[in-house]
Amino acid sequence: MFELFLVVLTLTSPILIIIFVRHYFKYKSQINQKILALQKECDNDVVVTMQKTLDILLKRVIVLERIVTDSNIDLSREINQL
């Protein structure tokens, strides 16, 4: 009886290994696709945040250039608005 079990185990083990390997690679590819989607979403958020920061810095540089080149009273109001 034990010999029969060993024979059956020997014959079915390669099939089981193939099944487990296929499931593993299928699972891994699904996880990789989810990771790529999350990275794209994160990259988009980072780009939007950096663009907002760049816009703010550009406005400040423009005001600083005006301060250096022009001594007008309206500049103090613009500085206070920033």
Share of the chain above pLDDT 70, in %: 91
Q: Which are the contacts of 59, defined by CB distance < 8 A and separation ≥ 6?
A: 82
Q: Would you state the torsion angle of the CA atoms of residues 60, 65, 66, 71, taken in this order, to the nearest 10 degrees?
A: 120
Q: Which are the contacts of 75, defined by CB distance < 8 A and separation ≥ 6?
A: 63, 66, 67
Statement: residue 78 has pLDDT above 80: no
What is the pTM assigned to this prediction?
Answer: 0.49
Number of domains in the chain: 1
Q: What confidence tens digit (pLDDT) does each residue in 3-19 have? A: 888 888 888 988 999 99
- To the nearest whole number, what is the mean pLDDT of the chain? 86
Predicted local distance difference test score (pLDDT) of residue 74: 67
- Residue-number span of the structural domain to which 26 is assigned: 2-81
